[in-house]
Chains A and B, each alone.
Chain A
Amino acid sequence: MPDTSTTPAPPEQIRAVPVRHPGRWIASAVIAVLAAMFVHMLATNEVFQWDFMVDNMSSDPVLKGARTTLVMTVLAMAIGILLGIVLAVMRLSANPVVSGAAWVYIWFFRAIPRIVLLFFSASLGALYSTYELGFPFDQQIMDLFGFEGDWRFLSLDGNDIFRGFVAGLLGLTLSEGAYAAEIVRAGIQSVDPGQVEAAQALGMSRGKTMRRIVLPQAMRVIIPPMGNETIAMLKDTSLLIAVPVTNELNFQLRAIGSRTFQVIPMAVASILWYLALASLLMIGQHFLEKRFSRGFGNRETRQQRAARRARDVGSTH
């Protein structure tokens, strides 16, 4: 016992017998046994052909396929999100025609499976053999006034453009735009209306208010579901077989598998590739979330840290 005459005695710390949790130990043991069985299976089953798998999953066509898959994912998401922002702003418009048009778009493209869209976008060359840009109803108008000819300035071969990468990108982007629109709309609506009023009271235009005040705050709400969308898009690039786009990751791995009759090793290779690429995208998401959570956590900013250090240094001298 310490001397109680000068300082009050510290309270006696409780040393109780903790509650035992036998269930936790049993569960851990069961999981450990299952994990050991799984590893044993991987190590002993000859069908996996690990050497063969490692050699082939880093072969040249597979690497090119992975690049196509990643580029397609990033492009389809980037254009899809831009399309989504436009649609979300349209959807929130006071003009019923504009918001109705956005609603119809979202209704349509969310309902159609991506593989169906990809088949369709690859067949656009069969719908019209040439696609021309020009004045709407130019021939009808010319006919009306008794003139000959048309008013068009760009002509493209339908079978030439709507195939391969472009057809795939078109199908995936149109689909993504519909999903992204709903996510962006939720994000915009999550921002306190007082923010818009404050920006308006400062004389900011609608566009600037949206770009500088609303969207940066909406990003906090938008990024997590958009991360889901990006990973879903990564996986959906395997649907490009419908176009077909053949220089894509899954197709390349399966091609090796069926050519060499080593189906399982190449299926496992596919799993590992998609795991790796999804992990890569998740790292990107982490940094984006950090960027757009500014002012919402209690993290010290770089300037604040610098200011604090400067103060500390000043006080020690």
Chain B
Amino acid sequence: MSSAVGTPAPGAVQPMVKAEGVHKSFGHVEVLKGIDLEVAPREVMCIVGPSGSGKSTFLRCINHLERINAGRLWVNGHLVGYREKGGRLHELRDSEVAAQRRDIGMVFQRFNLFPHMTALENVIEAPIQVKGVRRAEARERGAALLERVGLADRVHNYPNQLSGGQQQRVAIARALAMEPQLMLFDEPTSALDPELVGEVLDVMRGLATDGMTMVVVTHEMGFAREVGDTLVFMDDGVIVESGDPRSVLTDPQHERTRSFLSKVL
């Protein structure tokens, strides 16, 4: 691993994600008011909180879909979106930002599958176009990934021929096809009918078991408790409380956490 700025002392495990005082404003509205956190490799971190608390925005900052206004954010030791040179930050070029994103998979609330491509074409698009993988090889790996998410018989279906749960599983396979080191989930089950939530969570549980580093913005407290290593509760742009999910969920220390959990549990 490279020794970029902010690399921790030798011997310590380099965090997969490290945020220091991250601020983000949209116009005059400050959405993130100083976020500090670390995600270790193979860790599953669940972020919960009321809507408008900034949790999705923070997730989008991690792969630079949103530009932060202050603070520092590293993924795998690399500063996200900037290069520090001569004591100043330089914006990365589009191609450099794109290169950083290759190692970060993202799953969206609204799936955002490419509607003009079949499930398999969705999965092999980025490996072929971005990594230059040979078509035959990409198809083979893509089919294996779709089988892994339980969609071996749906490879040639277009997204509009799939249920929401199936679409979200294709979206997960599409992100995995780039062999990411980190997976970001932005409320992956919020747009699903209740009976379809389980199939998506099962796939995510499998990923966690395989040791994928995951940051999951979710409202699924059961998933957070069973699968999560860390639970972060955000409200009004700050982290109110974080720690072991079982203890945070059963014995919240802050009034705001208690009041939120009493509404959702």
Which A residues contact B (CB, under 8 angstroms)? 192, 194-195, 197-206, 208, 212-213, 216-217, 292, 294-296, 298, 301, 303-304, 307
Our pick among B116, B159, B178 for the contact of A203 (Cβ within 8 Å) is B178
Are B112 and A304 in contact (CB-based, < 8 A)?
Answer: no
CA of A202 to CA of B113 in the docked complex: distance in angstroms?
12
Closest chain A residue, CB of each to CB of B110: A194
CA of A206 to CA of B93 in the docked complex: distance in angstroms?
11
Given contacts A203-B101, A307-B156, contact A195 B94 (CB under 8 A): no
The verdict on B126 contacting chain A, using a C-beta distance below 8 Å, is yes
Are B112 and A195 in contact (CB-based, < 8 A)?
Answer: yes
CA of A200 to CA of B116 in the docked complex: distance in angstroms?
17
CA of A294 to CA of B116 in the docked complex: distance in angstroms?
5
- Report 6 cross-chain contacts, Cβ distance below 8 Å, ordered by A residue: A194-B110, A197-B65, A202-B178, A205-B98, A216-B116, A298-B160
The verdict on B256 contacting chain A, using a C-beta distance below 8 Å, is no
Given contacts A208-B129, A212-B129, contact A198 B98 (CB under 8 A): no
Our pick among B112, B125, B156 for the contact of A192 (Cβ within 8 Å) is B112
Contacts of A197 in B (CB 8 A): 65, 108, 112
CA of A304 to CA of B162 in the docked complex: distance in angstroms?
13
CA of A83 to CA of B160 in the docked complex: distance in angstroms?
33
Contacts of B157 in A (CB 8 A): 304
Report the tally of A-B residue pairs with Cβ distances under 8 A.
85
Given A296-B160, A298-B161, output 17 extra A-B contacts at Cβ < 8 Å: A194-B112, A198-B112, A199-B114, A201-B101, A201-B175, A202-B126, A202-B178, A205-B94, A208-B130, A213-B114, A292-B116, A295-B115, A295-B159, A295-B160, A298-B160, A301-B158, A307-B153
Are B126 and A203 in contact (CB-based, < 8 A)?
Answer: yes
The verdict on B102 contacting chain A, using a C-beta distance below 8 Å, is yes
CA of A195 to CA of B118 in the docked complex: distance in angstroms?
15
Contacts of A208 in B (CB 8 A): 129-130
CA of A202 to CA of B127 in the docked complex: distance in angstroms?
9
Closest CB of chain A to B180's CB: distance in Å? 10
Are A204 and B116 in contact (CB-based, < 8 A)?
Answer: no
Are A206 and B94 in contact (CB-based, < 8 A)?
Answer: yes
Which B residues contact A (CB, under 8 angstroms)? 63, 65, 94-95, 98-102, 104-106, 108, 110, 112-118, 125-126, 129-130, 153, 156-161, 174-175, 178
Closest CB of chain B to A304's CB: distance in Å? 5
Closest chain A residue, CB of each to CB of B113: A198
CA of A203 to CA of B63 in the docked complex: distance in angstroms?
10
Closest CB of chain B to A49's CB: distance in Å? 52
Contacts of A198 in B (CB 8 A): 106, 108, 112-114
Contacts of B116 in A (CB 8 A): 216-217, 292, 294-296
Contacts of A292 in B (CB 8 A): 116
Contacts of A301 in B (CB 8 A): 118, 156, 158
Our pick among A202, A205, A217 for the contact of B115 (Cβ within 8 Å) is A217
Given contacts A296-B160, A301-B158, contact A194 B108 (CB under 8 A): yes
Given contacts A295-B117, A295-B159, A304-B156, contact A204 B129 (CB under 8 A): yes
Closest CB of chain B to A136's CB: distance in Å? 29
Contacts of A307 in B (CB 8 A): 153, 156
Contacts of B175 in A (CB 8 A): 201-202
Closest CB of chain B to A33's CB: distance in Å? 48
Closest CB of chain B to A113's CB: distance in Å? 38
CA of A50 to CA of B126 in the docked complex: distance in angstroms?
61
Are B156 and A200 in contact (CB-based, < 8 A)?
Answer: no
Closest CB of chain B to A224's CB: distance in Å? 17
Are A203 and B130 in contact (CB-based, < 8 A)?
Answer: yes
CA of A201 to CA of B110 in the docked complex: distance in angstroms?
14
CA of A14 to CA of B264 in the docked complex: distance in angstroms?
52
Contacts of B102 in A (CB 8 A): 202-203
Contacts of B65 in A (CB 8 A): 197, 200-201
CA of A294 to CA of B157 in the docked complex: distance in angstroms?
11
- Which of A200, A203, A208, A304 counts the most B-chain CB atoms under 10 A from its CB? A203
Contacts of B99 in A (CB 8 A): 203
Contacts of A205 in B (CB 8 A): 94-95, 98, 130
Given contacts A198-B114, A202-B174, A203-B130, contact A295 B158 (CB under 8 A): yes
